[in-house]
Chain A
Amino acid sequence: MTLVETQPAASPSTVDGDEVAIASSGLTKRFRGGQVAVDELDLHVPAGAVYGFLGPNGSGKTTTIRMLLGLIFPTSGTHTLLGLPFTENAGRVLPRVGSLVEGPAFHPYLSGQANLARLDAADRTVDPRTARRRIGEALERVGLAAAAAKRYRNYSLGMRQRLGIAAALLRPRDLLMLDEPTNGLDPQGTREVRHLIRQLGDEGVTVFVSSHLLSEVSQVCSHVGVMSVGRMVWQGSLAELSAQQQVRVHVSTSSPASAASVLGRLGLAEVSTVDGGASAVLGDVLPEHVVEALVADGVGVRGLAVERPSLEDVFVGLTGEGFDVSG
């Protein structure tokens, strides 16, 4: 099988669902002083996924991304990128990986365009003759074409972030690692970045995007991993996560005790009575059956509510302390 030379991003990885874009096993980083930033991390990012890497500030997300890119060396553990063991293949695999790590960083006295040219010049695997076109396209894609010739120091925070994303898109990529890509962007910019991520995902690029805000990525992700204090507390597809949500039913009634006994008889779990009603985990039981049973038993139903916890609630449950800074 040959690969279309001009479109390396359209890799066959998306065809075969078994392929893994990022896999790590036991990845651990212990900083001098003994602080464990990342602890025995087993990442599993399927090829073609848009993977939301979530966790509170300080939970080890950026440290993980730095290890994945080879900027810092793990204390123990290994990882593969695009199916290749990283340590032996860094030079071969990294050209196919675009990244934004801990915010954009460019030379302040160079223009946006010149900064991209600098990065492009450093890439030995790319054709210099196409540099101009690719730089133009990358700037176009993030909406910076008009400010291409402006010095970076005069860019606003949002423009800098956009330039950082443009650098990640300098050439077709198979994997993008974007660390907090919406930092500093206004709501409009945030929406654009989300749109861009969705677009890239549709093109078959695997996108690994970290965020401390679930709401920012949950709309575009197919998979999520949740970090808490350096450990992965949950990862999998969004569908699997939704399946974990416990839907509760809440009955408003003047006789909570009899309502509770009906719920118990229906086989619902965690039945409890509260002031003015009873509630339980709905499970597989249909709400209309609950109503039917209550009415048949003569319980005066004033109202019945099915409560599905938001993803945010699920995450707060997973990370324990919620999305606050963790030491």
Chain B
Amino acid sequence: MSLAEAVRAPRSLYPSARFLRSELGMVFRRLRNQALLVVLACVPMLIAIAIKVTNGGNGDNGRGDGGALFGSITANGVFVAFSALFVVIPLFLPMAVAVVAGDAVSGEANLGTLRYLLAVPVGRTRLLAVKFAGVLVWCLTCAVVVATVGVLIGLVLFGGGDVTLLSGTSVSFGAGLWRLALVVGYVAVNIAAIGAIGLFVSTLTEVPVAAMATTLGLTITSQVLDAVPQISAVHPWLPSHYWQQFIDILRDPMALDRVGHGLLASATYAVLFLTLAWARFSNKDVSS
């Protein structure tokens, strides 16, 4: 009998769920990431306390949609969650995602554990898939933490009850929470696009901090470009352009045009950068 015959296909391939669980453990047990979640949880608390001690302010709730959200907080605590999401999506959430996604591959390369994972063997495509799945869960968790803490502290300080939407219509508290769930999903998908960019950058370097900074830098660049009126033609296709557009979900009926466009843009970026990450990583020499 030859060696080749002795190699049998493994009886059963145990599913990758175990590896994904391990990956999630790596992400969520890490002190740095727990600290990020605490920072995110502080945002709705700060907002709620600030509004409470100023007694809702002097009636001037600022300009635009953000102002409308903040103005509704004293009427219903659930708006703490909406306001907090509105505040964290331009910078805090991208930062939290850039840290985890940027670290995904470069962190393992930096420690040298990447070579041992590949030798286990973990196929390179499977490694990227599990890493991105971990990033997705992380994105969702970040948004859920902000929303949950926001709802809880909002209910404590301002109470609940029927939710008056931005268009003036009232819906039940349950329907309000349903809209919050939609907003959380929208936010998670949008920052997942940043996660895909981060994962790609992470395959380019063995220095995790460089990958994190580059990812966050790209996010900020997108927002800077978004502020230049001369190139308004490309604005709708910038990854950050429709981030705060989730307020459309708080109208009655929901105005989903721009929300849909935002989802499409984010999905496009996610697919594009995941493909780039795969193309880059699948034939890369791992010499770390």
Contacts and interface: CB of A to CB of B under 8 A. Distances in A.
Interface residues of B, number: 38
A119 B117 contact: yes
A19 B7 CA distance: 13
A128 B12 CA distance: 12
Contact of B7 (A47, A93, A118, A121): A93
B7 A126 contact: no
A93 B4 CA distance: 10
B113 A105 contact: yes
Interface stretch (A96-104, A136-144, A299-307): A96-104
B15 interface: yes
Given A105-B113, A108-B111, A117 B22 contact: yes
Given A105-B111, A106-B111, A124-B13, A71 B287 contact: yes
Contact of A13 (B6, B21, B122, B287): B6
A84 B117 CA distance: 21
A314 B125 CA distance: 46
B123 interface: yes
A243 B13 CA distance: 49
A89 B21 contact: no
Contact of A119 (B2, B116, B286): B116
B8 A107 contact: no
A232 B3 CA distance: 25
Interface string A280-292: 0000000000000
Contacts of B9: 92
A107 B113 contact: yes
B30 interface: yes
A128 B16 CA distance: 11
Given A66-B287, A71-B286, A82-B6, 12 more contacts: A1-B5, A12-B3, A19-B3, A66-B286, A71-B115, A71-B118, A83-B6, A92-B10, A119-B120, A124-B15, A125-B14, A167-B116
Interface of A: 1, 3, 5, 11-13, 16, 19-21, 47, 66, 69-73, 82-84, 89-97, 99, 101-103, 105-109, 117-119, 121-128, 167
Top 5 A-B pairs ranked by shortest CB distance?
A105-B112, A83-B3, A125-B10, A121-B22, A94-B121
Interface of B: 1-11, 13-16, 18-19, 21-22, 26, 30-31, 111-113, 115-123, 283, 285-287
